[in-house]
Amino acid sequence: MLLGGLSADDWVLLKQLFMHWGESPEVPEKDLEAYAMITGMGPTYFWFQLDELCKLAQSFGLTEKEAKEGLSKMITGTAETFNESGLNYEELRDLIPSLNISSIAPSILSI
């Protein structure tokens, strides 16, 4: 017996049925609520930002389709970098190109 009285054969059959709807990770019972909250509710934190970035891209001249395709690739690359780079937050943040404004406009600092 495995989970909930299922045999190993039943468990394999159940996993085969679930795979038709996409991934179905096995999560320990004690972690199930946290996992569901992060994976189920997490995207809601991104909708606003993605919508604003899409509007911004369109204001720069991209079509809605181009903006959405670009954002999709950006999100995929971001997730892959987050998962596979082995970098911590500070190292990831340092991947963002930035320019020290004092090097190009010292007079701004005196305002």
Does residue 49 lie in a domain region?
Answer: yes
Range of the domain at 83: 43-95
Does residue 28 lie in a domain region?
Answer: no
Does residue 78 lie in a domain region?
Answer: yes
Question: Residue 97 is encoded by which pair of tokens?
Answer: 């190109």
Does residue 90 lie in a domain region?
Answer: yes
Q: How far is CA 50 from CA 1, 64, 108, in A?
A: 45, 12, 32
- Overall number of domains in the chain: 1
Q: What is the pLDDT of residue 12?
A: 87
Does residue 52 lie in a domain region?
Answer: yes
Does residue 87 lie in a domain region?
Answer: yes
Per-residue pLDDT at 109 exceeds 90: no
- The amino acid that residue 57 corresponds to is A
Does residue 107 lie in a domain region?
Answer: no
Rounded to two decimals, the pTM is 0.62
User: What span, in angstroms and rounded, lies between the C-alpha atoms of 94 and 85?
Assistant: 13
Q: What is the pLDDT of residue 97?
A: 74
